[in-house]
Structure 1
Amino acid sequence: MLKLQIPKNRIHELTRHLQSDYELDRLERGWEYFHKGRVAGLELKHGVEVHALVLEPNCEVIIDIDHFSKSECSCSTVRNCEHIAAVVFTLYASYARPELLLQQLKQAIMIRSRQQQIRSGGRTADKRQQDRLEPPTEEQSPVQWQRFFDQQFYGFSLSQQHSIELFHNAAKEKLAPYGEGWKSPLKELYDLHLLLFIMRKIEQFYQETKASYLSYYIETGCRTIGRKCQEELLRLTPTLDVEALTQSYSAEWKETLHLISESALSGKESPVSWPTVYRSVWWRMANLSSWIAEEQTRLQHMLQAKDLMPKRKDALLMADAHFAVIAGDDEAARRQMEQLSKREARDFFFYLHHCHKEQAWERMLAWLRWLLPVVQRAQQEELRQFCQYWMEAVGRQSDDAEWVSVMVALLPRTYNFYSAYLLKGRRYKAWIDLQLANRVSPNDLYSVDLQSVEKQNPALVLPLYHQAVERCIAGKNRTAYKSATKLLKKLNNLYKKLDRLNDWEDYIYRLAVKYSRLRALQEELRKGKWIP
């Protein structure tokens, strides 16, 4: 990378010109020249001129850092060419990461382009924009609320300075007060729409920045805030007076359901769990049979369409099966969901949570058994939730044999859950066998846990230390041998406690003979006074 530092205020001035004077396509071509290392011969002349050569197509560039408009390039472009932009990116690299600059410039240029489109729309567009800017009222429809929300955050984009957390907090702080003082149930409906707006924007940010170098950072933030919004929604949904909404505000409620359906039934990839939103809202309408029948008819009609994309079909199948769950026929729902092209554990935790809340343990166990094949390939966080639900259910069973077999089948991923369960149940022999099978050293276990087992039966701990000693010796280095002798000291104490010193003498003798050719080990054993 070429290094040439010019004053920082000059760098900021040059990047400002990139933002205000360049079109996006030309800026991206300049980035490509820089990224491929085509800028050469960078030098500062006369204190104000940066000279450089952009290879392939070998253009000579002169940038006047005092008067950018006087900058020149030997290419055929009259001004503001991609070669000048490439040199500016190269200069910026001495201060910060140019890829961050590119992202910021792209966002600024996109906002500028949108603003120009609005201005070019004339008076009709201005009037339409003013209409959308009217604050939400109880007389307006939810669609008008959403338009106002969109207008208030028009042009908001994500960067390292503007995170998804910042957007979430800003939206809550700015938009929530408009619904304060409204009568129920419109107050709760407004709060629901505010959450839906934030979730829609999260999805939009995720899609827009998917190919960005910040995609992982933004995706992580979107998923985190998406889960937070989902938790808020699950707390809000039980407070909705659905009966009053369907009777007195049916048009507003239908708009709400339509908005949710558009996102939940699209099948597109999203950091937001729209199926959970859809199911939680419709579950509140379990007693409204006419509304449910109408929605089921609509879903079945959509399922009959030809050439459905797999994800879209899966979303429709899950939505349709949910109404069987609402009716209490979980088995029928599961049979229908066997048709899914892909099952993800996270899509069904909603049902486990509902069963836990209702303390329907047998119903929960049926779902857990059905989910077992899916959980085997689930992410670790999903596996953790699965194990926690099953631990809750197993406490209500007369026998835990089924749960133990599940934990064993999912080892080593379930090691922590299974290990804690065995200790809690004082199954010390099984706990020791688990540590031996996983080749866990006593040094890696909590001393409190070891002491509990040792207090019950010191003999149980002996194989654990024997295995650890052998593994240390297998390391065949001085540090490992020292670790082995420390473990031998603990072993000696255990044998004393058991009054089995003859067995200890026999063990240490056989160990010394077995590894008699390891001179460093023999020295460590002598230092510990284990052998003469």
Structure 2
Amino acid sequence: MLKLQIPKNRMNELIGHLRDDFNLARLERGWEYYHKGRVTDMELKHGVEVHALVRGGTKAFEVIIDLDDFSKSECSCSDGKRCQHMVAVVFKLYTSFARPELLLQQLRQAIMVKNRQQQAKQSGTRTAAEKRTERLEPPSQGDTPGVWQKFFDQQFYGFSLSQQSSIEMFHSAVKEKLTPYGEGWASPLRELYSLHLLLFIMRKIEQFYQDTKSSYLSYYIESGCKTVGRQCYDELMKLVPLLDADKLTQEYPEYWKETLAMIADTALSGKESPLSWPTVYRSVWWQMNDQPAWLTEERSRVLRLLETPDLMPRRKDALVMAAAHFSVIAGDDEGARQQMERLTKREAKDFFLYLHRCYEENAWDRMLAWLRWLLPAVQRAQQEELRQFCQYWMEAVQRQEEDAEWANVMVALLPRTYPFYTAYLMKAGRYKAWIDLQLSNRVSPLNLYSQDLQAVEKHDPTLVLPLYHQAVERTIAEKNRNAYKSATRFLKKLESLYKRLNRQHAWEDYIYRLAMKYARLRALQEELKKGKWIP
């Protein structure tokens, strides 16, 4: 069987037929056959026909792809001229050019666009392609945010993810192309325009995520979505404090209402997303603390939505957090936490917004109250979320008279909190507790910072003795020549420590007992002799 590589122009023609002549269901089914390795015995005959066998459920079907005239292609199955077995063979042919999963993704997006256009024509409305020909003017201060968003969509119509076009590239392209339009505007519209740029990027990220969710590259696309989503979140946290909510509500109320409605529609929907839309919603509404009428109206609307029967858990959680947030804005943190006990799922990342605000306002007691409430959720959190939790608690504990509560939390969360706890103990000068932590985690001195060991040794040399004793025993237990050599290095350090402490007799007693304990390990005995510790 030959490893086929047909000419590139022939391959492009086949791709065009997959896009134009096959529906999405056949395409997905053909991909499944290819992906499971069911295409075999593929060969080129007569220079223009690709013959292959495709195994179905209980039998194999013969497929013939005519490269000169695709309409003459055929399959021995009962589905006729446009079957999934033909699709599988085309995917197999594509492996000589690039990764077939990317082709599947591109075809899926092209077919969905084509279907939307056909639906629009059938309903008597203009297609997206037709609307695109009517070019919108660049955004101006006189246009509403909805018009800005339409212009953004138009400028990036048809953008899709591929090997050449990543989510990171999309983010950069949007910023480079669209940011200049609003740079000369007067405040607060300049900041509002910047907010809508971020909302557009986030909206498109979510679209990319949904469109490629079932593709072979879904994991990598989801990872890219989350990376750029975090970047957008960081930009948002810097931008939101610059928004003059008072001026927007007074001079541009319609613009602001449209913006808030756009955010709420997504944030309160509860749909799965790689982005934290509820955090966007709460951050923006926190800027409205001097507009009680607006806050009261929105809170009432959210509470009415919460009364809707048979709410899905995700949507209910989004509404509960939104309703509780208005209590936080009013300063009633305890009331907010009581409301959020209704949450189906409590995730630590949803509440770092409050911890950060407490940090900015130096509200350490308020921060500690949130940290204590978050502890059960943090125990199930990802490592990055745990890192943020520990950093906030370290900041808060430095302003407290005692750190016993924090230390108990760190111990309870070991071993995941090891790097944070060990750093704090060293910083606080609690060297005995630091050594005990290393011993309990069986950490070798070779894996510790030399500066830390030197600090402990300078404070009290006797503290490091158990650490080196444990290291000697652990390396000898490996029972090989290299391990014995490592053990002798630890023994040399121990000898110097005992001499420094003027405890030569204790050292001689220790080395004698060690030699007797491992008398049968000949290689170790040789290393001890080289060190002149035994005759």
Q: Normalization by structure 1: what TM-score?
A: 0.92
1:423-442 correspondence runs (5 A): 423-442=426-445
2:471 is matched with 468
1:69-468 correspondence runs (5 A): 70-75=72-77, 79-115=81-117, 124=126, 133-468=136-471
> Residue type of the partner of 1:380?
Q
1:49 is matched with 49
8 Å contact kept, 2:101–2:215:
no
User: Which of 296-305 and 50-59 deviates more?
Assistant: 50-59
SS in 1 for 2:519: coil
Name the CA distance, whole Å, in 2 between partners of 1:444 and 1:3.
Answer: 54
SS in 2 for 1:397: coil
Name the CA distance, whole Å, in 2 between partners of 1:118 and 1:366.
Answer: 54
CA RMSD of aligned residues (A): 2.5
SS in 2 for 1:6: coil
- Shift in alpha-carbon separation, 1:528–1:97, aligned structure 2, 3 A: farther
SS in 1 for 2:52: strand
- Shift in alpha-carbon separation, 1:123–1:326, aligned structure 2, 3 A: closer
Name the CA distance, whole Å, in 1 between partners of 2:522 and 2:139.
Answer: 84
Q: Deviations over 1:91-111 (max 9, x none)?
A: 333454333332233233334
1:61 is matched with 63
Match of 1:522 among 494, 511, 525: 525
Gaps of 5+ in 2: none
- Shift in alpha-carbon separation, 1:513–1:248, aligned structure 2, 3 A: same
Name the CA distance, whole Å, in 1 between partners of 2:173 and 2:524.
Answer: 65
- Shift in alpha-carbon separation, 1:138–1:77, aligned structure 2, 3 A: same
Gaps of 5+ in 1: none
Name the CA distance, whole Å, in 2 between partners of 1:38 and 1:412.
Answer: 46
8 Å contact kept, 1:481–1:521:
yes
1:478 is matched with 481
> Residue type of the partner of 1:108?
A
User: Which of 467-476 and 32-41 deviates more?
Assistant: 32-41
Following superposition, the deviation at residue 346 of structure 1 comes to: 0.8
Following superposition, the deviation at residue 68 of structure 1 comes to: 4.7
Following superposition, the deviation at residue 419 of structure 1 comes to: 0.9
Identical amino acids, percent of aligned pairs: 69
> Residue type of the partner of 1:352?
L
1:6 is matched with 5
Following superposition, the deviation at residue 420 of structure 1 comes to: 1.1
8 Å contact kept, 1:43–1:51:
yes
SS in 2 for 1:338: helix
8 Å contact kept, 2:188–2:244:
yes
8 Å contact kept, 1:19–1:109:
no
SS in 1 for 2:342: coil
8 Å contact kept, 1:132–1:147:
no
- Shift in alpha-carbon separation, 1:510–1:124, aligned structure 2, 3 A: closer
- Shift in alpha-carbon separation, 1:20–1:271, aligned structure 2, 3 A: closer
Name the CA distance, whole Å, in 2 between partners of 1:21 and 1:267.
Answer: 36
SS in 1 for 2:184: coil
Name the CA distance, whole Å, in 2 between partners of 1:77 and 1:324.
Answer: 61
2:34 is matched with 34
8 Å contact kept, 1:11–1:92:
no
8 Å contact kept, 2:19–2:107:
no
User: Which of 188-197 and 145-154 deviates more?
Assistant: 145-154
1:488 is matched with 491
